[in-house]
Amino acid sequence: MSAAKPGRVSLVGAGPGDPGLLTLKGARAIAAADVIVYDYLAAAPIVALAPPDCEKVYAGKRAGAHALSQEEITQLLIRLAREGKRVVRLKGGDPFVFGRGGEEADALAAAGIGFEVIPGITSAIAAPAYAGIPLTHRDYTTSFTVATGHEDPTKPASTLDYARLADPHQTLVLLMAMGNLDEIVTKLREHGLSGDRPVAVIHEGTKPGQKTLVATLETIVAAVESAGITAPAVVVVGDVVRLRERIRWFDRSPLFGKRVLITRPAHQAAEFAARLWECGAEPLIAPMIAITPPDDPARTERAVAEIRDYDWAVFTSQNGVDAFFRVLARSARDARAFGDTRVAAIGPKTALTLRRHGVRPEFVPLRFISEEVAQGLVERTSAGDRVLLFRAQEARDVLPERLRAAGRRVDVVAAYKTTFVRPAEFESQLERAEIVTFTSASTVRGFIAALGGDLRGAAGKTIACIGPVTAEAAREAGLPVDIVADEFTVDGLLERLERSTA
């Protein structure tokens, strides 16, 4: 019997907090991991990139609260690798910038464990950038220094060279300095920095909860105490702080700091969540529905097998397109199966999904209003034409009824079924949310079911719907609708949210 293949450890920098700042190489390592050992500062959406069967071990360390000691973490990495596993050690920021990644790499090397280092964007650079503070600027400074404000507590004395750190011609960036801020400020002033030198403290940099406090070296300690700002935070000392008011951008977004509940299925939530992160909002993913096979899968398979017998095939959602091609793939067929059958897609996202499968739809109504869709199809078909309507099992009958009234032969086939789900953290997510978004009538119904019919949990929330059909379902359920997208897509909903909160 051959020996088990040796494992390998990837020391991956998760970046400063915004999941969009994770490197592509880091994302690939996570997607291939058997085990992830992650820190407190690793954003949940990044951890969620791991495969479903990946083991996740929390090893976070905060002041006075360590899930695992550093020695325990190192031994865990060695043991997992010796078991032949692909291990990702996911660390906030960059592994080699005050992340103790150097110590872990040294221990792995000593144990004969193969490893790699995948750098991450350090908060020393990212947090100031998101606060509108460039670390270098031709008019202010041509250099910067990054130092820790929290040294090894077992050292007999500090080895920070305050004489060099207190250079008025450079920008000084301090990480992990909140616990010793008073002492650091005192030392900097003792070594010559003036009390009026600008200082910024950036809490939770690059995240929707980012807070930036600007003061001077003389007033910063009192200002931090008054504002209640705590770790994690990055401290920037230097004249470049003066630029913040002119070039700040992240916290000027209309959605900055807003907490937005996403109710669409989990597999479709990632794109919307990423867009919200880019706008400075905090997405709260709480899928109210799941996509499951229809009650009569045999009928679905027959419709797919007989697709060439139809004059038109109408797809009402991305889920329907995906379901169709899953069935098609099981018989080793592809887009050529459509033959001369013409295709309609309800909405631009459904059309895009079809194109990705090699099918170019001939009719794409942008507004999913049954009357308009039916009229468009009637204009493009003839009496007696056979039409396949491939859609959700629970969809309304308005569209097929209008087509039949116009003399079209319509087969309504369930592509999939939606079932209600209730996330484990639903109550806490809803309580935190300021905005609740709905992308279909079924997400509304799932939300009402999760509430148990008691709408008090939604009181005071801004209700945003992707289009009039969804909005009608929300109003019928007793929810006051505040926002309806002009373009019935996630992009349209996001644009409408930005306009409404500007």
Q: List pLDDT tens digits, range 297-349.
A: 999 999 999 999 999 999 988 999 999 999 999 999 999 999 999 999 988 88
- In 3D space, the residue among 102, 141, 151, 144 whose CA is nearest the CA of residue 125 turns out to be 144
Region 111-135: mean pLDDT is: 97
What distance in Å separates the CA atoms of residue 277 and residue 287, rounded to the nearest whole number? Answer: 18
Last residue of a domain, one of 228, 251, 274: 251
Q: Residue 82: inside a domain, yes or no? A: yes
Q: What is the pLDDT of residue 5?
A: 74
The string of DSSP letters for 464-479 reads EESSHHHHHHHHHTTP
Q: CB count, 10 Å around CB of 119?
A: 18
Q: Tell me: do 176 and 277 sit in the same domain.
A: no
Q: Residue 1: inside a domain, yes or no? A: no
Q: What rounded mean pLDDT belongs to the chain?
A: 92
Strands (E), 104-189: 114-118, 144-148, 171-175
CA atoms within 13 A on the CB side of 216: 8
Q: Tell me: do 302 and 381 sit in the same domain.
A: yes
Q: Residue 95: inside a domain, yes or no? A: yes
Q: What is the pLDDT of residue 236?
A: 98
What distance in Å separates the CA atoms of residue 81 and residue 13, rounded to the nearest whole number? Answer: 19
141, 170 in Cβ contact below 8 A?
yes
Q: Is the pLDDT of residue 406 over 70?
A: yes
What distance in Å separates the CA atoms of residue 35 and residue 344, rounded to the nearest whole number? Answer: 44
The answer to which of 37-41, 152-156, 197-201, 442-446 has the lowest mean pLDDT is 152-156
Q: Is the pLDDT of residue 153 over 80?
A: no
Q: Residue 167: inside a domain, yes or no? A: yes
Region 362-374: mean pLDDT is: 79
Q: What is the pLDDT of residue 61?
A: 67
Q: Tell me: do 308 and 393 sit in the same domain.
A: yes
Q: How confident is the model at residue 388 (pLDDT cuts 50, 70, 90)?
A: very high
- Show Cβ contacts of residue 100 under 8 Å, excluding neighbours closer than 6 positions: 70, 91
- Number of alpha helices (DSSP H) and beta strands (DSSP E) in the chain: 19, 22
Q: Tell me: do 247 and 129 sit in the same domain.
A: yes
**Crossing angle for the helix pair 181-190 and 220-227, nearest 10 degrees?**
170
Q: Is the pLDDT of residue 27 over 90?
A: yes
Q: Residue 300: inside a domain, yes or no? A: yes
Region 387-413: mean pLDDT is: 91
Which two tokens mark 397?
């009958």
pTM of the model: 0.82
Q: Catalytic residue numbers?
A: 39, 61, 176
Provide the Cα torsion 224, 227, 233, 234; round to 10°: -50
Q: Tell me: do 324 and 229 sit in the same domain.
A: no
Structural domain including 88 reads: 8-121
Q: What is the pLDDT of residue 285?
A: 94
Q: How confident is the model at residue 66 (pLDDT cuts 50, 70, 90)?
A: low
Q: Residue 3: inside a domain, yes or no? A: no
Residue 78's identity, in one-letter code, is I
Q: CB count, 10 Å around CB of 326?
A: 14
CA atoms within 13 A on the CB side of 93: 21
Q: Tell me: do 263 and 317 sit in the same domain.
A: no
Q: What is the pLDDT of residue 4?
A: 61
Last residue of a domain, one of 361, 383, 418: 418
Q: Tell me: do 413 and 299 sit in the same domain.
A: yes
* 445-449, Cβ contacts within 8 angstroms, sequence gap of 24 or more: 445/288, 445/420, 445/473, 445/477, 446/263, 446/288, 446/289, 446/418, 446/420, 446/421, 447/263, 447/288, 448/477, 449/288, 449/420, 449/422
Q: Residue 2: inside a domain, yes or no? A: no
Strands 171-175 and 233-237, how do they pair? Answer: antiparallel
Report the number of distinct structural domains present in the chain.
4
Q: Tell me: do 65 and 135 sit in the same domain.
A: no
Q: List pLDDT tens digits, range 42-65.
A: 888 899 899 989 999 999 866 555
Q: Tell me: do 27 and 62 sit in the same domain.
A: yes
Q: Can you give the CATH number for the domain in which 493 is found?
A: 3.40.50.10090
Q: Residue 349: inside a domain, yes or no? A: yes
Residue 327's identity, in one-letter code, is V
Q: How confident is the model at residue 394 (pLDDT cuts 50, 70, 90)?
A: confident
Q: What is the pLDDT of residue 2?
A: 43
Q: Can you give the CATH number for the domain in which 50 is found?
A: 3.40.1010.10
